[in-house]
Structures are given as C-alpha cells and as structure tokens.
Amino acid sequence: MSVNLCPGEGGQTKRKAIGLLSGGLDSFIAHALIKRQGLEVVALYFLSPFWKRNPLVLQGANDLGIPVREIFLGEEYLSLIAKPKYGYGKNLNPCIDCKILMLKKAKEVMEAEGASLVFTGEVLGQRPKSQLSWSLRVIEKESGLDGRLLRPLSAQHLPPTIPEQEGWINRDQLLALSGRSRKAQLALAEQLGIKNFSSPAGGCLLTDAHFSYKTKDLIDHQQLSLDNVILLRWGRHFRLTPEFKLIVGRNQKENQEILSLLRPGDFLFLPQNGKGPVALGRGAISETEARLSAQIVARYSRFPEEKARIEVKVYPKEDKKLLEVKPLKDEDLEKWRI
C-alpha cells in the first residue's frame, strides 16, 4: 500500500487537529497522515496507574515533529473501572468506556485550542470489542464528538466526517484498513519514515488476568484508590481480613518501591535476626493479623535460628514491637494470597 505524501490543499488558515497518541504504529501513522494534509497537529498522551509509560511516544512524536501533551487520568478513571457502562473485556479492561473518557478529554482540549477535529489510530475490526462498527459509533456519540472524530486508517469504511464533507480533509488521502493484519501498517511505516513504535500488545495492566484479580479485590473491599492501585505493581499481596492487606517485597528493588509508597498509618514489618523482605501492612489490624503478617514475612526470609524476630512499627512513628514467630507453611500461606 502507498499513499500520496504531498500535503493536501487547504485554505489560508491552518487548521488544528488533536490526536490520541499511544506509541503504537497505528497512532503514529494516523498522526503522520493528518499532518501531511497540512494541519497543525497536537498529540495527547494519556497516562493512568494501570498503563505502563511508553518511552517511544516522545521519541516517535519528535521524529514526526509533533508536540505531545500528557494527561493523567486519576480518580475519575478509578470510578470508571469500578462500574463501566459498557462492561469489561477479557479481564478487567473497560476498553469502550476508557476510550470514551479519553475522547471527552480530547474534546475539551479541542474546544480550548480552537481546533477542528479529534482523530485516533483505531482500525475497524482490529480489536474484538472496542473497534467494531457499533462500538466505534457508540464511542463517537458518547464522547460528544459527532462528526468531529476521524479515524484516518479506516476512514473510507466509515461515514464521512464534517472535516471531510467540508473539504479541508482530503478523504482520498485517508485509508481503508480493517482487520487484524499488520502488513499494510508495516509497509506504511517504511514509506512514512516511522521507525520508533511499540508492539501492538499494549501496556494496559488491566488486560493481565493476575493484575485484574488484584484490582477486583480492591473493588470488592471498597479500597480502590490511587495509592492502593500503584501499590499493586509491587510485591506479593495477601488479604488477611476484609480491612487488612499485606504486601511483601520480592527483591531489593521492590523493597525500595514499597518503602517509597508508605503512607501515615501503614504498618512496616522488618526482619531483625536474618535476611528478608520489607512488608507493608495497610488497614485495621489486630494482634492476630500482626502475628500472621510476621509469619508470612518470615516465610520469605532466611534465619539462623528456629524462630524469626520481626520488627513491627506504625509509619512514621518510631515506636517498635518485636514479634517472635515461626515461618508460615506454604500450604497455609496460599489461603491468604491474592
């Protein structure tokens, strides 16, 4: 497949377009196509606690000469995850609701900037739920971008948008891609000079079954917060009571990350007579949960003696308590693991 690389003709005033940039090949192609039609392009890169930062976003955008603005989706994204209007994907990924939220934010930027359209790198039929004809239409309608949402890679399969109807977007220079094949995109990448892009696997942690299970535990116990979600990325997680969780580091890096996420009132468990992990306890705790937590920490520690001595303190207070415990057996450990 080839495209005419000459910019499309337009009026004297240079129009502005707002694009969603993920760092994947499709989104870079979309940005390249719109820029080559003579529009001023601003890319929006969305972040949340559930998405891995993509280092190729800024690099690829710089290659195309496109400025990038980062937008963090926080508490409102958590509300969306807890009860998405259009449900989940295979795991806890609310793909349709997620795209609607991002496009609502993009619409706000479009209006503030006096831009004329929003565009994405979506391809008709590429994803099993969020990129079917009906879902693309739902996303456009729910985002409030009726007629102003352009999908350049599949535009010729979709109804013309207002920019196309008014003639300042050349529909002939848009594409007719569909399905999951990547051959056409890879050929276009070479033609358009796009070299830095990420694989199509994506970086959403909510597509991971284990991470989704841990997130669902927070939802079920009404503990879904930014602090708790960020903590899900690190350590082994144990639910000891509906009110109390324990997170045990796996290695030195995780120990450091867990320590950096301590907040006032958290419990800190530290081995004293051997080598072992840092553990963070969060929530209401009794003597029973304190001893059980110490036993779990002891299980992942190495001690020269029969019993482990685990120091417990409430962050950031200096008061300490020493618990002597035997390591919890593996068969008992699993009943608490998330």
What one-character-per-residue DSSP string does 49-117 give? TTB---THHHHHHHHHT--EEEEE--HHHHHHHHS-TT--SSSS--HHHHHHHHHHHHHHHHHHHT--E
On the question of a cis peptide bond just before residue 316, with omega within 30 degrees of 0, the verdict is yes
What pLDDT sits at residue 143? Answer: 97
Hey, which residues does 176 pair with through a beta bridge? none
Tell me the one-letter amino acid at 7. P
Chain segment 236-253, per-residue pLDDT in tens: 999 999 999 999 999 999
- CA-CA distance, 235 to 238, in Å (whole number)? 10
Residue 210 parent element (H or E) = helix 209-220
Nearest to 206 by CA among 188, 223, 197, 218: 218
Reported pTM: 0.89
Rounded to an integer, the average pLDDT of 81-108 is: 95
3-state secondary structure of 280: strand
User: 16-204 has which CATH code?
Assistant: 3.40.50.620
Measured in Å, how far apart are the chain's first and last C-alpha atoms? 48
What pLDDT sits at residue 6? Answer: 46
Hey, which residues does 310 pair with through a beta bridge? 271, 323
What pLDDT sits at residue 273? Answer: 84
Largest CA distance in the chain: 82
Phi-psi map region of 65: left, alpha, beta (phi>0 left; psi -120 to 50 alpha)? left
What pLDDT sits at residue 202? Answer: 61
Rounded to an integer, the average pLDDT of 174-187 is: 91
What pLDDT sits at residue 318? Answer: 86
Rounded to an integer, the average pLDDT of 105-133 is: 91
302 contacts: CB under 8 Å, gap ≥ 6: 274, 275, 276
**Rounded to the nearest 5 degrees, what angle is found at the Cα of 35, between the Cα atoms of 31 and 38?**
160
Q: Residue 338 above 60 pLDDT?
A: yes
What pLDDT sits at residue 127? Answer: 74
Measured over the CA atoms of residue 210, residue 284, residue 241 and residue 277, the dihedral's sign is positive
What pLDDT sits at residue 1? Answer: 53
What pLDDT sits at residue 9? Answer: 45
What pLDDT sits at residue 230? Answer: 95
Q: How confident is the model at residue 201 (pLDDT cuts 50, 70, 90)?
A: low
Inter-residue contact 177 to 153 (CB < 8 Å):
yes
Most confident of 77-91, 115-129, 235-249, 313-327: 235-249
**Domain positions in the chain:** 16-204, 234-333
What pLDDT sits at residue 3? Answer: 53
Chain segment 48-58, per-residue pLDDT in tens: 999 888 889 99
Q: Residue 11 above 50 pLDDT?
A: no
Higher pLDDT, 328 or 6: 328
- CA-CA distance, 247 to 213, in Å (whole number)? 15
What average pLDDT does the structure give for the chain? 92
- CA-CA distance, 69 to 312, in Å (whole number)? 43
